[in-house]
């Protein structure tokens, strides 16, 4: 693998930089770089701009309206957007359910749903986890019973990210309880505006309304919204999780946070020598930078070698989330007492609660607590190690 970017790739990087510089709203950049609370409008304004350019789904095949970016081009795009302070692209439609629909969906599903994702018309969420089915996802109990040309769905999903914004949910449901639990699961596309759906917020340690409980009470879903075959949902779910785990890697955002951490380490918050002069902290900083560089190289190798994510995605997910958490821990260490408990007003409106600390100091505790979840969602890192042992090492 050649680690040097070609002239064409360098030119693409400059094109992305110019576009982001011109089209990314400054108020959104201000929020992202200071870890402020983002509204739905912040995400949609940026994704609308990308959709108009054709870059919202630049990595998609041309047959489905994409540009067939190479893995390197997609990586460059992610890296430049993150460095400039763009919000993350909401992945549930673009990078998670879309590949499933492309691979297993009906012609109508491809024509209808992929075009709406490409044009940023539908906001999707993921209906996997349940109160009794998290890491043991195959134990899910949400039921879908076929009645003529529709399914009637009853049950509950939990930890459903941004469901309060969503127009659609891709949902794992049990359609057969008489077979092995993995074989009785189907994959449904459900309109979140359907009668019988209730969304209830779950407020986390960082006081953000990011995740929810979703209840289904006799929700009617057209049978045409079944993806693939009934009872094959477990296969489709595993296919999707490969894309989710690769996306969780978050190399671009981690490189941005590393640059921010280096800036803090060079700054003299209270006089005296900067923290970067401390050999112990400097060694920790070097270690996480080396881990991040190795992760970036591994990501590019995996993407370049495979048409779709395999078990290697579990390696990327583990290392990506470990790097993310380490960066938040080192930032808390760097600011010490200035990384004080956060203020809801500061997170939403700006400003700082500490007179001599950087503006983002008041949000670091919230970010630290929030990032504890990255090693759990998408399949806990313990589960990922089991996958690696079984499917990579053959143990």
Tell me the two tokens of residue 243. Answer: 């894309």
Quote the longest CA-to-CA distance of the chain. Answer: 75
Cβ atoms < 10 Å from Cβ of 317: 30
Q: Angle at CA 367, nearest 5°, toward 363 and 269?
A: 50
Task: Locate 338 and state its tokens.
Answer: 């200035």
CA–CA dist 76, 72 (Å, integer) = 6
Tokens (6 digits) for 119: 């044009």
Phi-psi region of 317 (alpha: psi -120 to 50; beta: other; left: phi over 0): alpha
Geometric angle at alpha carbon 206, from 364 and 281, rounded to 5° = 30
Active site residue 244: yes
Phi and psi of 307, rounded to 5°?
Answer: -75, -30
Q: Catalytic residue, from 73, 244, 296, 312: name it.
A: 244
The SS3 assignment for 214 reads strand
Task: Tell me the backbone φ, ψ of residue 189, rounded to 5 degrees.
Answer: -105, 120
Tell me the Ramachandran region of residue 206: left when phi exceeds 0, alpha when psi lies from -120 to 50, beta otherwise: alpha
> Tokens for 34?
């200071």
Residues with Cβ < 8 Å from 211, sequence gap 6 or more?
158, 159, 160, 161, 162, 163, 201, 202, 204
Residue 228 · residue 245 · CB < 8 Å: no
118/92 Cα distance (integer angstroms): 12
C-alpha 102: how far from chain center? 20
Active-site residues, by number, are: 244
């Amino acid at each position: 693998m050649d680690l040097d970017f070609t002239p064409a790739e360098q030119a693409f990087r400059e094109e992305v930089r110019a576009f982001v510089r011109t089209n990314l709203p400054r108020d959104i950049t201000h929020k992202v770089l200071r870890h402020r609370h983002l509204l739905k409008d912040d995400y949609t304004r940026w994704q609308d701009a990308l959709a108009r350019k054709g870059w919202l789904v630049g990595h998609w095949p041309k047959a489905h309206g994409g540009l067939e970016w190479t893995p390197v081009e997609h990586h460059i795009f992610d890296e430049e957007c993150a460095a400039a302070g763009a919000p993350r692209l909401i992945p549930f439609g673009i990078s998670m359910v879309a590949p499933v629909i492309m691979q297993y969906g009906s012609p109508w599903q491809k024509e209808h749903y992929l075009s709406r994702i490409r044009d940023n018309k539908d906001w999707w969420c993921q209906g996997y986890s349940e109160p009794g089915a998290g890491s043991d996802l195959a134990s899910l109990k949400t039921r879908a019973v076929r009645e003529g040309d529709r399914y009637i769905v009853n049950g509950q999903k939990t930890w459903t990210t941004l469901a309060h914004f969503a127009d659609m949910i891709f949902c794992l449901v049990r359609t057969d309880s008489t077979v092995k639990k993995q074989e009785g699961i189907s994959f449904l596309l459900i309109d979140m505006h359907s009668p019988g759906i209730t969304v209830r917020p779950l407020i986390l340690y960082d006081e953000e309304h990011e995740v929810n409980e979703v209840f289904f009470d006799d929700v009617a879903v057209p049978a045409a919204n079944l993806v693939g075959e009934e009872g094959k949902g477990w296969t489709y779910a595993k296919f999707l999780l490969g894309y989710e785990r690769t996306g969780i890697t978050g190399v671009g955002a981690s490189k941005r946070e590393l640059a921010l951490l280096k800036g803090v380490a060079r700054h003299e918050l209270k006089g005296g020598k900067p923290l970067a002069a401390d050999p112990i902290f400097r060694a920790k900083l070097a270690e996480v930078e080396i881990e991040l560089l190795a992760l970036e190289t591994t990501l590019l190798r995996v993407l370049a070698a495979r048409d779709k994510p395999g078990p290697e995605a579990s390696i990327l997910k583990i290392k990506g989330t470990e790097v993310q958490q380490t960066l938040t821990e080192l930032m808390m260490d760097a600011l010490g007492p200035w990384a004080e408990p956060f203020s809801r007003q500061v997170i939403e409106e700006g400003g700082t609660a500490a007179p001599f600390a950087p503006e983002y100091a008041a949000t670091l505790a919230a970010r630290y607590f929030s990032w504890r979840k990255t090693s759990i969602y998408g399949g806990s890192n313990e589960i990922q190690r089991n996958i690696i042992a079984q499917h990579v090492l053959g143990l």
